[in-house]
Structure 1
């Protein structure tokens, strides 16, 4: 890692990073996104002025501000403005519906919600009286009004620039919600230093330099895209945030922006490969990409057609960029090798280290203070469970091979990952159990054609109740994000259970998708 990137420990904060980038890179272009063209020296001013607007609205150090927007300037302004004054931003997935939004607002105790106008109707099914919300700032045209007892205001103009708060590297920069596996989503407490290290580690893996142009279509409410800004800030280069992923528009967008580094998720690569091959796949400047979860064969085909090498890597909202391949890695098809500054073990159920070649749970820790998350907001028992024995337990089953490479096997946690989104099976089950005809349900992952998970629900109906799989999917559509709606619904007479009544989901997973099972995509 370049020594000039390594800020002193006390300056590994949003104010410290923005001040350093303004001083080091000045008028060099930094961010291009809908609604903004900012230089590196602009970023500290943007944060200070948005911080002023937040402070004028009563947001103080330690408060939380939720933000539900697409990839647009107001999102990044809010996040950096919060970091500047020592408040914590709470990004909300833009596909969330009323019940999920209500839970996230209530759980985080957010004082202000910044929301794009197009998402306002999702609040109609949220009980804001059950939250601590005091004001809603609408990005777009919105007349002043109220939502119950909560004031609804138009997104205020930037305030007067304020001095940065005395922020510590250990202070919470953001609370990022990650889907629970046996309960509701948990808010991950991401400190300022973790954000800095995400940027520095990612830039180091990708070999990012001042002349690079980063480009991502991934949503800013995820750590992958959010840390792309940190990469640009650390390395002094430029980043383009595009509004959304488009298979047909991807390569034209890369050519238009002059991108040299791109960011893809596993399912996106097979989708791009399904497009007709053509010269446009080589008409760009992209030299490298980050592609966690891309199947080995798909990665090789992508590189052959586009000339872009995709690097594999491993990290999570709770950790950092811990494991990665490199440009000259001896082989592909693995998660990669442990990066400097981190430690990793593969352990059994009692946390005993396993030998190379034997699969177990991946546990991690960092050398640098606060390079990992601090825990789960308001859930001390979950924090202790996840960080037991002073190692973060990932819930992922891996094995370490003889040369030190880590290979992913499967997930221990009962979570589902689809279209780059983590889905809580528990949350989907709660929605289905609210249907009056449903007596019992088990939600679990099955593999798709895109080498990712699809959501499957095994449903037992109440005696004498009548409903159909399409009706159950329609019921979910008004209560769940689109990506979480089950693709497969299988009506069963009973669920497989243990002697003490616990559902044996592994039997359902092993059974897979039976012939004749209802498939929403086919329907």
Structure 2
């Protein structure tokens, strides 16, 4: 349940659906503003009406309950209107990463079985390299410039985004019915479509609002993309708390604080890479003349978080959640220590386990397993992948794939993605720990550490680094920097100095692209004479 002061009334179990959330807020909030995007604002009543009318347009186009509707669209009102209209109708939204190209779009459409694609005009050209005959697609709605309307792509007709139709009554959906299919990054194989039920979306809003202390006087503001659960969750928080949410089209480091001031934001949402980018900007008056009282910043390095608070006055809360789970672990503004993901949120259970799912004692690293008290607070599985679903949810716990440590006081510390762990010379190496050391070098702006295969059929440590503006450093100097800060076996053998790291739209480093790139002719290699075990008498100088 939401704690007192968060400005929301918990819904009974059977009403934990998107239509019920919208209808309740239409009655409670009425003409009060709910959302703003691209200078267009809706009240709580407007939002419910827009959902009902878009559901009418979808119904008129032949979309029925349970049908999938794909969305390839930036942060604009048509995205939200379609998402809400699908939920109202009982159809299922399938948001697609706007960085996706033809082959990926084809895969998402084929895997989800989407019958309708709502696509922004600027992305239509990408369909040229997608074979739509391999999908179930029957129609394409083009948002924005209607120049592409009337054309045929792979035997599928494109029409301009239709005007909202006569409103239809909300479908009698159940809390466990799917609301959306959100695709994971698929770093180790084909992307998996996470089936997110209505109640999971409700609990995302409830738990996040509780952690952040969101109340009806707040203004939530995010620059993150709507195809991601983070931004969709921001909208859920606004619905359950009865406050206002502003969606900014895209993240701009130079324009961030001006955008927050224009929105009158009180709560902001940032990801790990965004905070160092903001700190690299020249200090300005806008960093102190805003109304922001708190921010959510999962994955932000502790030093960057502290520097951000000192410079802007905004405390960033850490936390843990995934598309498959919920906001399960979080810090608070008065948390006793930095560098942890946080403590377990009420309503969830966590276990740190070995490879056989046996619980490990405090202080010992293992995989984080999660379970929810409330029905449908987690995803229902992976769409069309029953084997992957069983594997991830085996023994009735969701296996996160993250290696963590639970401290004696109950705090959870992130160690590494299990599949990012590196095994070299019989030792397990945390890429995260190596990254933290390299990141602390004053010349380094960002870094990714990952395994590459060696001639001995084991892992070698490789690091890709981006240097800070105006900085120069030789790879050999970086190795010397590591020698007093890392075990000998964890010091990188290979170093690449790059102009930038490959990232997703959300700023997450795509390590699989770096692993695929591997060692190249421009890669620096540590001399073998410097890589010996110091205990064997070959300590590097």
Same fold (TM over 0.5): yes
Given that 2:420 and 2:450 are in contact with CA atoms closer than 8 Å, whether structure 1 keeps it comes out as no
Aligned to 1:385: 391
Aligned to 2:247: 241
**Could you tell me how far apart the structure 2 residues matched to 1:395 and 1:200 are?**
25
Hey, what's the Cα distance between the residues in 2 that align with 1:355 and 1:287?
37
User: How far off its partner does 1:278 sit?
Assistant: 2.5
Alpha-carbon displacement from aligned partner over 1:15-47 (angstroms, at most 9, x marks no partner): 110011111111111100026310111111011
Alignment match, 2:492: none
C-alpha separation between the residues in 1 aligned to 2:376 and 2:150?
41
**1:21 and 2:35 correspond:** no
Q: Is the counterpart of residue 124 in structure 1 residue 128 in structure 2?
A: yes
Partner of 1:505: none
Counterpart Cα distance in 1 of 2:302 and 2:265: 24
SS in 1 for 2:162: coil
Map of 1:264-413 to 2, 5 A cutoff? 264-413=270-419
Which residue of structure 2 aligns with residue 509 of structure 1? none
Contact 2:209 2:237 in 1 (8 A): yes
Asked if the contact 1:117/1:139 (under 8 Å) is kept, the reply is: yes
Superposition map of 1:124-203 within 5 A? 124-142=128-146, 143-203=149-209
After superposing on structure 2, the runs of 4+ consecutive aligned residues of structure 1 that deviate more than 6 Å are 454-460, 480-483
Secondary structure of 1:398's counterpart equals strand
Partner of 1:10: 14
RMSD of aligned Cα (Å): 2.6
Could you state the TM-score of these two structures normalised by the residue count of structure 2?
0.80
Superposition TM-score, scaled by structure 1 size: 0.82
In structure 2, do the counterparts of structure 1 residues 277 and 60 end up closer, same or farther at CA, with 3 Å as the change threshold?
A: same
**Distance (Å, rounded) in 1 between the aligned partners of 2:35 and 2:158:** 29
Shift of 1:329: 1.2
Deviations 1:105-151 (A, max 9, x none): 00000000000011111111100111000011000122312112101
Aligned pair 1:77/2:84, yes or no? no
d(CA) in 1 for partners of 2:358 and 2:261?
A: 50
**C-alpha deviations, 1:444-481, integer Å up to 9, x for none?**
99947455647898899xxxxxxxxxxxx9xxx9xx99
Contact map agreement 1:454 1:487 (CA 8 A) in 2: no
Query: 1: CA distance between counterparts of 2:450 and 2:159?
Result: 38
Q: Deviations over 1:245-294 (max 9, x none)?
A: 00000011111111000000000000000011132210100000000000
- Give unpaired runs (5+ residues) of structure 2: 423-430, 456-497, 528-541
Quickly say closer, same or farther: Cα 1:33–1:459, change in 2 above 3 A. farther
| 2:99 corresponds to which of 95, 98, 108 | 95
Q: Given the superposition, is the C-alpha separation of residues 110 and 406 from structure 1 closer, same or farther in structure 2, using an over 3 Å criterion?
A: same
Structure 2 CA distance for aligned equivalents of residues 283 and 455 of structure 1:
41
The residue aligned with 1:521 is: none
- Contact 1:267–1:452 at 8 Å: present in 2 too? no
Answer yes or no: is the 8 Å Cα contact 2:181–2:383 preserved in 1: yes
Answering whether residue 67 of structure 2 is matched by residue 63 of structure 1, we say yes
Partner SS, residue 99 of structure 1: helix
Distance 1:130 1:203, change over 3 A: same
Contact 1:362 1:395 in 2 (8 A): yes
Partner of 1:114: 118
Which secondary structure state, in structure 2, belongs to the residue aligned with residue 124 of structure 1? helix
- Secondary structure of the residue aligned to 2:419 is coil
Match of 2:461 in 1: none
* Aligned position for 1:498: none
Q: Is the 8 A contact 2:224 2:506 kept in 1?
A: no
Change (3 A) 1:196 1:450: farther
Q: CA deviation at 1:514?
A: 3.6
Q: Specify whether residues 297 and 54 from structure 1 end up closer, same or farther in structure 2 by C-alpha distance, changes over 3 A only.
A: same
Shift of 1:301: 0.2
Does structure 2 retain, via aligned residues, the 8 Å contact 1:398–1:409? yes
Q: Is the 8 A contact 1:66 1:92 kept in 2?
A: yes
Using the TM superposition, give the Cα deviation of residue 189 of structure 1 relative to its aligned residue in structure 2, in angstroms.
0.3
1:426 aligned residue: none
Secondary structure of the corresponding residue to residue 394 of structure 1: strand
Against the structure 1 CA distance between its residues 7 and 453, is the aligned structure 2 distance closer, same or farther, given a 3 Å change threshold? Answer: farther
Deviates more, 1:297-306 or 1:29-38: 29-38
Q: How far is 1:322 from its partner?
A: 0.1
Structure 1 residue ranges without an equivalent (≥5): 417-443, 461-472, 494-511, 517-523
Structure 2 residue aligned with 1:227: 233
Where 1:5 maps in the other structure, the secondary structure is coil
Equivalent pair of 2:271/2:506 in contact (CA under 8 Å): no
Task: State the SS of the aligned residue for 2:295.
Answer: strand
- Cα distance 1:194–1:109, how it changes in 2: closer, same or farther (>3 A)? same
Partner of 2:42: 38
